[in-house]
Amino acid sequence: MSRNYVFIDFEFSMNDHTSTKDFFQEIIEVGTVVVQNNTIYDTYSSFVKPAFFPVLTKRCKTFLSIEQEQVSNGVEFHELVEMLHLIYSLGNTIVVTWGNMDMYVLRKNCEKHNLSFPKATSFIDLARDYKQFFGDQNHTGLWRALEAYGENGKGKHHRALDDALTTYEIFKKIENDKKYMKNKTKTTLGDLFNTEEIKRKFAT
Protein backbone atom coordinates (compact mmCIF):
# COMPACT_ATOMS: atom_id res chain seq x y z
CA MET A 1 0.00 0.00 0.00
CA SER A 2 1.43 3.38 -0.99
CA ARG A 3 2.11 6.04 1.62
CA ASN A 4 0.56 9.48 1.48
CA TYR A 5 2.61 12.26 3.02
CA VAL A 6 0.83 15.42 4.15
CA PHE A 7 3.09 18.38 4.92
CA ILE A 8 1.26 20.81 7.19
CA ASP A 9 1.99 24.28 8.47
CA PHE A 10 -0.22 26.49 10.62
CA GLU A 11 0.15 30.12 11.56
CA PHE A 12 -1.19 31.14 14.96
CA SER A 13 -2.63 34.21 16.62
CA MET A 14 -0.36 36.03 19.08
CA ASN A 15 -0.97 37.84 22.34
CA ASP A 16 0.37 41.18 23.48
CA HIS A 17 -0.17 43.51 26.42
CA THR A 18 -3.82 44.00 25.37
CA SER A 19 -4.68 40.27 25.51
CA THR A 20 -6.72 38.77 28.31
CA LYS A 21 -5.13 36.35 30.76
CA ASP A 22 -7.13 33.42 29.34
CA PHE A 23 -5.74 33.99 25.84
CA PHE A 24 -4.63 30.93 23.87
CA GLN A 25 -3.28 30.61 20.35
CA GLU A 26 -5.77 29.95 17.59
CA ILE A 27 -4.95 28.67 14.10
CA ILE A 28 -5.44 31.55 11.66
CA GLU A 29 -3.85 30.12 8.51
CA VAL A 30 -3.32 26.65 7.10
CA GLY A 31 -1.17 25.28 4.30
CA THR A 32 -1.05 21.62 3.27
CA VAL A 33 0.92 19.73 0.63
CA VAL A 34 -0.21 16.18 -0.18
CA VAL A 35 2.50 14.01 -1.75
CA GLN A 36 1.87 10.66 -3.40
CA ASN A 37 4.61 8.60 -5.05
CA ASN A 38 7.13 11.43 -4.62
CA THR A 39 4.86 13.82 -6.53
CA ILE A 40 2.78 16.71 -5.22
CA TYR A 41 -0.81 15.52 -5.57
CA ASP A 42 -2.60 18.52 -4.07
CA THR A 43 -2.04 21.74 -2.13
CA TYR A 44 -4.40 23.76 0.04
CA SER A 45 -4.12 27.23 1.52
CA SER A 46 -6.60 29.30 3.49
CA PHE A 47 -6.93 31.75 6.32
CA VAL A 48 -8.92 30.50 9.32
CA LYS A 49 -11.34 32.68 11.24
CA PRO A 50 -10.48 32.80 14.98
CA ALA A 51 -13.54 32.12 17.10
CA PHE A 52 -12.52 32.89 20.68
CA PHE A 53 -10.30 35.93 20.11
CA PRO A 54 -11.47 37.20 16.72
CA VAL A 55 -9.54 40.48 16.76
CA LEU A 56 -5.86 40.05 15.90
CA THR A 57 -3.29 41.89 17.96
CA LYS A 58 -1.04 44.47 16.37
CA ARG A 59 1.93 42.24 17.12
CA CYS A 60 0.34 39.34 15.23
CA LYS A 61 -0.54 41.42 12.17
CA THR A 62 2.93 42.94 12.05
CA PHE A 63 4.82 39.67 12.52
CA LEU A 64 2.79 37.75 9.93
CA SER A 65 2.22 40.72 7.60
CA ILE A 66 -1.51 40.06 7.42
CA GLU A 67 -4.66 42.11 7.85
CA GLN A 68 -7.68 41.56 10.05
CA GLU A 69 -9.96 41.28 7.02
CA GLN A 70 -8.04 38.30 5.67
CA VAL A 71 -8.66 36.11 8.72
CA SER A 72 -12.18 37.46 9.27
CA ASN A 73 -13.07 36.15 5.80
CA GLY A 74 -11.31 32.82 6.36
CA VAL A 75 -12.86 29.39 6.74
CA GLU A 76 -14.40 28.32 10.05
CA PHE A 77 -12.24 26.13 12.25
CA HIS A 78 -14.62 23.17 11.93
CA GLU A 79 -14.18 23.38 8.15
CA LEU A 80 -10.41 23.08 8.60
CA VAL A 81 -10.86 19.99 10.77
CA GLU A 82 -13.26 18.45 8.24
CA MET A 83 -10.72 19.07 5.49
CA LEU A 84 -7.98 17.33 7.47
CA HIS A 85 -10.25 14.35 8.17
CA LEU A 86 -10.89 14.13 4.42
CA ILE A 87 -7.17 14.21 3.57
CA TYR A 88 -6.38 11.59 6.19
CA SER A 89 -9.11 9.34 4.77
CA LEU A 90 -6.78 8.65 1.83
CA GLY A 91 -5.29 5.99 4.08
CA ASN A 92 -1.76 5.26 5.28
CA THR A 93 -1.30 9.00 5.80
CA ILE A 94 1.90 10.33 7.36
CA VAL A 95 1.72 13.92 8.58
CA VAL A 96 4.98 15.87 8.51
CA THR A 97 5.47 19.17 10.36
CA TRP A 98 8.47 21.28 11.30
CA GLY A 99 8.44 21.04 15.09
CA ASN A 100 5.66 19.88 17.38
CA MET A 101 3.76 23.14 17.85
CA ASP A 102 1.43 22.66 14.87
CA MET A 103 -0.09 19.45 16.23
CA TYR A 104 -0.08 20.77 19.80
CA VAL A 105 -2.07 23.88 18.87
CA LEU A 106 -4.37 21.88 16.59
CA ARG A 107 -5.18 19.51 19.46
CA LYS A 108 -5.74 22.45 21.83
CA ASN A 109 -8.05 24.16 19.34
CA CYS A 110 -10.01 20.95 18.79
CA GLU A 111 -10.53 20.63 22.53
CA LYS A 112 -11.78 24.22 22.77
CA HIS A 113 -14.21 23.63 19.88
CA ASN A 114 -15.28 20.19 21.20
CA LEU A 115 -14.17 18.55 17.95
CA SER A 116 -12.34 15.27 17.48
CA PHE A 117 -8.64 15.60 16.76
CA PRO A 118 -7.85 14.41 13.21
CA LYS A 119 -5.69 11.31 13.52
CA ALA A 120 -3.32 10.31 10.77
CA THR A 121 -1.53 6.97 10.51
CA SER A 122 1.60 8.54 11.98
CA PHE A 123 3.29 11.89 12.58
CA ILE A 124 6.84 13.04 11.84
CA ASP A 125 8.46 16.01 13.55
CA LEU A 126 10.95 16.85 10.83
CA ALA A 127 12.76 19.42 12.96
CA ARG A 128 13.57 16.69 15.48
CA ASP A 129 14.69 14.32 12.71
CA TYR A 130 16.90 17.06 11.26
CA LYS A 131 18.43 17.72 14.66
CA GLN A 132 19.14 14.03 15.30
CA PHE A 133 20.47 13.35 11.80
CA PHE A 134 22.97 16.20 11.86
CA GLY A 135 23.72 16.01 15.58
CA ASP A 136 22.70 19.61 16.22
CA GLN A 137 22.49 20.74 19.82
CA ASN A 138 19.78 23.33 19.26
CA HIS A 139 16.56 23.52 17.29
CA THR A 140 17.13 24.86 13.77
CA GLY A 141 14.62 27.18 12.14
CA LEU A 142 12.75 25.95 9.06
CA TRP A 143 14.25 28.28 6.49
CA ARG A 144 17.71 28.20 8.04
CA ALA A 145 17.68 24.42 7.68
CA LEU A 146 17.08 24.70 3.94
CA GLU A 147 19.67 27.47 3.63
CA ALA A 148 22.18 25.00 5.09
CA TYR A 149 21.63 23.00 1.88
CA GLY A 150 22.44 26.11 -0.14
CA GLU A 151 18.84 26.87 -1.10
CA ASN A 152 16.23 29.43 -0.12
CA GLY A 153 12.79 28.72 1.27
CA LYS A 154 9.76 28.61 -0.98
CA GLY A 155 7.84 31.86 -1.29
CA LYS A 156 7.53 33.92 1.89
CA HIS A 157 8.44 32.81 5.40
CA HIS A 158 5.54 32.58 7.86
CA ARG A 159 2.98 32.01 5.14
CA ALA A 160 1.47 28.61 5.79
CA LEU A 161 1.57 27.07 2.32
CA ASP A 162 5.05 28.41 1.58
CA ASP A 163 6.35 26.95 4.85
CA ALA A 164 4.64 23.61 4.11
CA LEU A 165 6.34 23.53 0.70
CA THR A 166 9.67 24.40 2.33
CA THR A 167 9.17 21.55 4.81
CA TYR A 168 8.65 19.19 1.88
CA GLU A 169 11.89 20.39 0.25
CA ILE A 170 13.87 19.69 3.42
CA PHE A 171 12.19 16.30 3.80
CA LYS A 172 13.33 15.27 0.32
CA LYS A 173 16.90 16.32 1.04
CA ILE A 174 17.06 14.51 4.37
CA GLU A 175 15.64 11.35 2.79
CA ASN A 176 18.28 11.52 0.04
CA ASP A 177 21.00 11.96 2.65
CA LYS A 178 19.69 8.95 4.57
CA LYS A 179 19.75 6.83 1.41
CA TYR A 180 23.31 7.96 0.66
CA MET A 181 24.50 7.06 4.16
CA LYS A 182 22.73 3.71 4.00
CA ASN A 183 24.14 2.74 0.61
CA LYS A 184 27.65 4.08 1.14
CA THR A 185 30.10 1.17 1.32
CA LYS A 186 32.91 1.09 3.84
CA THR A 187 36.33 2.12 2.58
CA THR A 188 38.82 -0.76 2.42
CA LEU A 189 42.59 -0.73 2.25
CA GLY A 190 42.25 -1.72 -1.38
CA ASP A 191 40.43 1.56 -2.02
CA LEU A 192 43.25 3.56 -0.48
CA PHE A 193 46.27 1.71 -1.92
CA ASN A 194 47.16 -0.14 -5.07
CA THR A 195 47.78 -3.49 -3.35
CA GLU A 196 48.97 -5.19 -6.53
CA GLU A 197 51.70 -2.55 -6.93
CA ILE A 198 52.80 -3.06 -3.33
CA LYS A 199 52.97 -6.85 -3.83
CA ARG A 200 55.19 -6.40 -6.86
CA LYS A 201 57.59 -4.16 -4.96
CA PHE A 202 57.99 -6.64 -2.13
CA ALA A 203 58.41 -9.51 -4.57
CA THR A 204 61.52 -7.91 -6.23
Catalytic positions: 11, 158
Give CA–CA dist 41/46, Å, rounded: 17
120, 118, 140: which is closest to 130 by C-alpha?
140
Q: Could you give the CA distance from residue 158 to residue 67 in angstroms, rounded to a whole number?
A: 14
Cβ pair 61, 47 in contact under 8 A: no
* Separation CA 6–CA 87 (nearest Å): 8
Q: How many Å apart are CA 176 and CA 157, to the nearest integer? A: 24
Per residue, what are the HEC states of 95-162? EEECCCHHHHHHHHHHHHHCCCCCCCCEEEEHHHHHHHHHCCCCCCCHHHHHHCCCCCCCCCCCCHHH
